[in-house]
Structure 1
């Protein structure tokens, strides 16, 4: 008998609402994630630590672990610390670095992981990937998707607005990533998962088309949902292709070539998406993406996040080296440095007119 359906890896619970944090203990019990209440809670010294006093009475059986940052060493140390006790689950409470460290640590010790996001800076809150700094720079590590996700909009509004803007850039970049995936399918025969592509594309379109702003609960809900869908799309595909194309190659190149700069991931991939869309000859689409990024206060030019034109050109030239074997518009065009510089000048004119 043919298999007519497939199982989709996804959280058993996604709670996105104002005040959602107050129901964390109930969610853990009701979903039988932690019926005993024995939890390891990973927090940062910032947003996570600030919420510890609020949550401690509701989680009396929890042990709290302060994680030093989003590094592979910190994640391994967290895993080693958790081995000495028996827990039902791991809770990652904080921003992207803490959630990525908690995902990796929970996978290492074989425990389910609950993501409690205190900002919406990127789609890692529900993805099957942990991005962690290592001795070679930064690495991507495959991990199970979080078993549950909590996003309290009241907490999100307290985070710096720059983090929300970064999430917007990451969600919108899906549109460029899927276009690159489709390009590779046409040119190289790479298999494309239609469901994963559709989910990632619709997540990006929902954010692109929403008229609200960063202080609007309706918009924040759509953004959070889009980031969740992006993570699930990657789980369906079994890789990051639905949300990572030339846009992310450019961002990775900026990180590797200029590691001491302070731009956020979503700021870089949003810019990369607008430029990659221009390279694909989708002029009107590139202008639309740039307009939406500008409306939300995101950069559309490298100098707006501290990079010169020459540095950006060098990053675009180096970008294909960051993902060997991945085919995007950058590999397709195989531009020289002078051609990249000319294409960037055309891009600037197009989005400025």
Structure 2
């Protein structure tokens, strides 16, 4: 015979649902319950308002010209059409520029992470001589810079024009990201580093074997920040690159978008096809640009909030 102390699965489930009743707890008041419902509705409304523009862009990207021009496209595509996708994706220059963007983003993010991590780790040590001077110089650059023309002259003088270095080096360190990482390293337990030093690890060994493996959250967050910044960047390439074969995809899509708003024909093979391309090229270009980042974000999202908070909250 099963004693009364043994609870059946049904009873355990009921206790989880009605825990206050079984445990004698206090039920939520009506005002608090109303607050929770109102808070939930408000959050859902904010999420919908945030997603609505993006969903509208997706709908327009797959809609036909007539429905777009008449303003009938809302959240669902009408007159399903992929002519613009075919025109853009069928261009060999698009894929060449897309490959350039991948290379620029990977190389630039790797360089930025190495420089930012080492710079932040070094300046997180309070015993470092001249630390305040270096931090002051870094913060100064957040508010003042040489300007567009001096930067252009510098890049041209260094021979970086029409090279990958004109894209990946000028913005290699973001001072905001540097300050976040510095704050994180300042809160890192010193006992771990001291123990590693006693075991014979050098400064570089401590950074590589102790600090970095325990800093995955903030590193993943910084990688996301840098990758998004370099992926979406177009003005630097537009300024320093003259060869179309070196353009990133953002410049290609920018030029395509500019062509559709001008008086010149797109050369899409016919007036009807050209009109279709012109009608939703904005939506298609935005979708093609943001899609890789959307695919990357779910893998990094779990580190995102904790990474920023770890580097911005004093212990």
Structure with more of its chain in strand, by fraction = 1
Q: Name which one, 1 or 2, has greater alpha-carbon Rg.
A: 2
TM-score calculated relative to the size of structure 1: 0.19
Q: Which has the higher contact order (CA 8 A, sep 6+)?
A: 2
Structure with more of its chain in helix, by fraction = 2
TM-score calculated relative to the size of structure 2: 0.21
